[in-house]
Structure 1
Amino acid sequence: MVRRTRGVVRAVVGATALTAGMVVLAPVAQATTIPVACGETALVAAVNLANSTVNSDTLALAGGCTYALTSPHGGPANGLPVITTPIELLGPATVTRTALLPFRIAEVGPTGSLTLTTSVAFTNGSAAGNGGAIFNRGAVTLTGSSLSGNQATLAGGGLANADTPSGTAPAATFTRSDVLGNTAVLQGGGIYNGLRATLTTSGVTGGPMLISANSAAQGGGIAAVDSTATTLTQTAVTVNHAVLPAGGIYRANGTMTTNNTPVTANTPGNCTGSTPAVPHCTG
């Protein structure tokens, strides 16, 4: 069952006068919380409900629930309906594919944004294309959450910021959100940051964000290819693997900034073959 809890609707300042003493008050979209029962049907219904409004909606997932996706609900490629509005998933909870049929967990459209907060895990996504867990054409934010055990036949085993020649470019922000054990056939086993896209990752002092045990043909941990910016802070990129250099981070063009970001124990090489070189990375 999905239940919507609405806030108080506010009036627009500067309403339009009709006659003396009369005004029209236009409502302003309010953030909405939608409690979601533990189950595939309830989660899909909640996403559809959130997509149907202009509100910024929070889907309060059932604590500790594993939402098992047995079939795609966003076309043949996506487990969840395509995200077209601002939606937050609030955990702790896991969303996972349990079907033999391959599909990613979620796609974010150009008008959408997806936020995973408080231990939301996307696992076992399997994309025939880009973005094993998330294919992003809008905005994605992970805070204290994770992408693990996902795979893609092209780029971005965990997340792919789509190549975007024109229009609004995708952006992804990870804060204390690990990317572990994902696989891509081509580039970016953990994360692919594509044409014109932006990627920002950060951990905390004494507890870096971890990008580890991912694999791809190139850029086992991260591949940033013609992206606008890749900024990595307190992010450990370690024990990732690629067929071609580099196993850790592969960079081709674009701006890249690293701060307190160890890139270690990746094979073959940590950042070998990147042009320009990855800042503060050796091997």
Structure 2
Amino acid sequence: MRFRRVVLALAGAAVLATGTTTLLPATAQARIMAVACDETSLITAVNAANAAGGGTVTLTAGCTYTLTAAHGNDGVNGPTGLPIITTPITLEGNANTITRSSASVFRIAQVSTTGDLTLKAVTLSGGHAATNGGGILNFGAVTLTGSELSNNAADGTGGGIYSTGGAAGATFTSSNVKNNTAHQAAGIANDRGTLALTSSVVSGNAAAINPGGIYHVAGSATLDNSAVSANTPTNCTGSPSPVPGCTG
């Protein structure tokens, strides 16, 4: 397909155009346009954005990006499909899915304490972590807008997302966390971070032990016009700290 011309957010960015990556001094964020619908192009684009100090990666409309191997590993928390997010990166989607298709076990995304991942109209699906965070393991900031975490699995905690640490924040707006599995907290696990859901749904998640929907240890959790329902064995009951507005 024909790629649009790369538009730099500021001078000195790393850019990707027509399948070619150009690395310039990492002094500003990049806007990486029209990433081709394949694994290699997506990984190259995320690496380029990290190297540029962050940026926006625009995905091919309607594309499913299938990850066949892990491209990130901090040596502690296990492998991750995408390169570890260490800078502010937005995945600008349009009915996109990023999924795992491999015999290997790896989550889809990991966000470091310096990272900030924003998903717009993007679904993360099929991740599998041997530890925590099947879809996303978050130590920094994660924002989902019109997006979804679905059909991810964690052998530990947080099938959809595990957000942990005082620097961790997870914000969901008009987004879904559905049909994930885990030993505990198949939907969302928030451990000492900040969790906020607005006009969002946490549903159909299944854990081995309480709770199945949202596990909230400490920090803050708010639900605004959001539904937590049909999770097993419970929605939020069994969390060390109550989830305001979540029952059952």
Deviation at 1:72, TM superposition (A): 0.5
TM-score by length of 2: 0.85
Letter in 1 for 2:240: A
1:234 maps to: 225
1:224 maps to: 216
Deviation at 1:5, TM superposition (A): 2.6
1:23 maps to: none
Letter in 1 for 2:58: A
2:196 corresponds to 1:200:
yes
2:105 maps to: 102
1:153 maps to: 155
- Cα distance change of structure 1 residues 249 and 67 upon mapping to structure 2, 3 Å threshold: same
Alignment RMSD: 2.2
Task: For residue 99 of structure 1, give the secondary structure of its aligned residue in structure 2.
Answer: coil
TM-score by length of 1: 0.75
Deviation at 1:8, TM superposition (A): 4.8
Give yes or no for contact 2:97–2:122 (8 Å, CA) kept in 1: yes
Q: 1:81 aligns with which of 83, 92, 95?
A: 83
Instruction: Give per-residue Cα distances to partners, 1:52-105, cap 9 Å, x unaligned.
Output: 012x41110000000000010102510000000000011121000010111000
Q: 2:235 aligns with which of 239, 248, 257?
A: 248
* Structure 2: gaps of 5 or more residues: 13-25
- Cα distance change of structure 1 residues 135 and 8 upon mapping to structure 2, 3 Å threshold: closer
1:70 maps to: 68
1:257 maps to: 244
Cα separation, 1, equivalents of 2:44 and 2:5? 10
Letter in 2 for 1:234: N
Instruction: Give per-residue Cα distances to partners, 1:173-224, cap 9 Å, x unaligned.
Output: 0001001000111x21100001x21100010xxxxx2111101111101010
Give yes or no for contact 1:2–1:42 (8 Å, CA) kept in 2: no
Task: For residue 42 of structure 1, give the secondary structure of its aligned residue in structure 2.
Answer: helix
2:114 maps to: 111
Larger gyration radius, structure 1 or structure 2: 1
1:32 maps to: 31
Task: For residue 34 of structure 2, give the secondary structure of its aligned residue in structure 1.
Answer: strand
Instruction: Give per-residue Cα distances to partners, 1:5-36, cap 9 Å, x unaligned.
Output: 313549xxxxxxxxxxxxxxxx9735524331
Identity level (%): 45
Task: For residue 50 of structure 1, give the secondary structure of its aligned residue in structure 2.
Answer: helix
Cα separation, 2, equivalents of 1:52 and 1:218? 41
Q: 1:142 aligns with which of 118, 126, 144?
A: 144
Q: Across the two proteins, how many residue pairs are aligned to each other? A: 226
Cα separation, 2, equivalents of 1:28 and 1:82? 20
Task: For residue 121 of structure 1, give the secondary structure of its aligned residue in structure 2.
Answer: strand
Cα separation, 2, equivalents of 1:73 and 1:88? 18
2:117 corresponds to 1:121:
no
* Structure 1: gaps of 5 or more residues: 11-26, 204-208, 264-269, 271-283
Cα separation, 1, equivalents of 2:5 and 2:156? 38
Give yes or no for contact 2:30–2:56 (8 Å, CA) kept in 1: yes
